[in-house]
Amino acid sequence: MIALRKLASLSPGHRRRKAATTLEALERSLRAGLPIDAAYAAALLELLAADEGLSPALRAELERDRAVLAATPEGRDAATGSVVAVLGAGAAPAIAALNRARRDLGAELDLPCADWDLLPPPGAEGRLAPDPAARRNRGGMRAYLEDLRSPFNVGAAFRSADAFGVEELLLSPFCADPLHPRALRSAMGAVGLVPWRRASLDDLGGLGTVFVLELGGADIEDFEFPERGVVILGSEELGASPEALARAEKRVSIPMHGVKGSLNAGVAFGILLHAWRRSLARA
């Protein structure tokens, strides 16, 4: 970490940008289960809160976050003997304070923020990958992702599939790669948990009832979900292809009440899986 004396000697713009980077590094360490110097973090926010070039509202927010860090339970690093923030549940308020501080500072500095900048949940970077064998799935639930082009939507589909116990995901030849960095980011480890393979519509035979999530179908609240089957999720731009619609034995829809009349593909898929799993639990 940059020394606070060195940081204070930098030009205002350079100092603020360097501070934002340092706050991210501190937050990332805590999220990974690594110790940080809590006193240093609090002093960094104190330095920023005294910066008259920042807005009064931001300075007040930074002071509140400084107080949170100053009150963080402390311990001593066994290797160095330095005072550090206590890890585990005690680190949660410190993580939130660091996150708010760097986000608020970044917004005032007009630093761009995108979803691929988001950090993983606390501890995720320091944990061993979950064991796929320990995953509980609902046998018979499958989904066919037809030509989803957004890696983020593909990753979100994997995450929802893991959450609701989908047995397997089948991806069309033109579906975005689940191993794309942005898909891996939104999947949060689910790509390594949910079995998947490339497949064509012809490969859906023998997997149970084939149905499609598309406009013009039965209301999802009244739909009779199969015990064993495959739901087809069409592309973001065109929906399900004519070939997929012809292959499907049933069509289910999510009622729309807004002006747009549509949902993000990943969001719609999550709603569908929840309704399917709930239907099976009632059976």
For residue 122, the model assigns a pLDDT of 55
Task: Give the domain ranges of the chain.
Answer: 4-126, 136-282
Residue with the bigger pLDDT between 211 and 181: it is 211
Residue with the bigger pLDDT between 99 and 131: it is 99
Does residue 267 carry a pLDDT above 90?
yes
For residue 128, the model assigns a pLDDT of 46
Comparing CA positions, the residue from 31, 64, 237 lying closest to residue 148 is 237
Does residue 45 carry a pLDDT above 90?
yes
For residue 110, the model assigns a pLDDT of 87
Does residue 124 carry a pLDDT above 60?
no
* Lowest-confidence segment of 31-45, 117-131, 246-260 by average pLDDT: 117-131
CA distance 256 to 224: 19
Does residue 117 carry a pLDDT above 70?
no
pLDDT digits (tens, 9 = 90+) for 185-214: 888 889 999 999 999 999 999 999 999 999
CA 146 to chain centre: 22
Percent of the chain with pLDDT over 70: 86
Q: Average the pLDDT over 52-74 and give the result.
A: 89
Per-residue confidence band for 80, with pLDDT thresholds at 50, 70 and 90: low
Per-residue confidence band for 258, with pLDDT thresholds at 50, 70 and 90: confident
For residue 120, the model assigns a pLDDT of 60
pLDDT digits (tens, 9 = 90+) for 226-247: 999 999 999 988 899 999 999 9
For residue 113, the model assigns a pLDDT of 62
**pTM, rounded to two decimals:** 0.67
Does residue 77 carry a pLDDT above 90?
no
Class of domain 136-282: alpha beta
Residue with the bigger pLDDT between 50 and 92: it is 50
Q: Average the pLDDT over 66-74 and give the result.
A: 82
* Lowest-confidence segment of 19-23, 112-116, 217-221, 247-251 by average pLDDT: 112-116
For residue 74, the model assigns a pLDDT of 65
Q: Average pLDDT over the chain, rounded to whole?
A: 86
For residue 127, the model assigns a pLDDT of 47
pLDDT digits (tens, 9 = 90+) for 133-144: 777 777 899 999
Percent of the chain with pLDDT over 90: 58
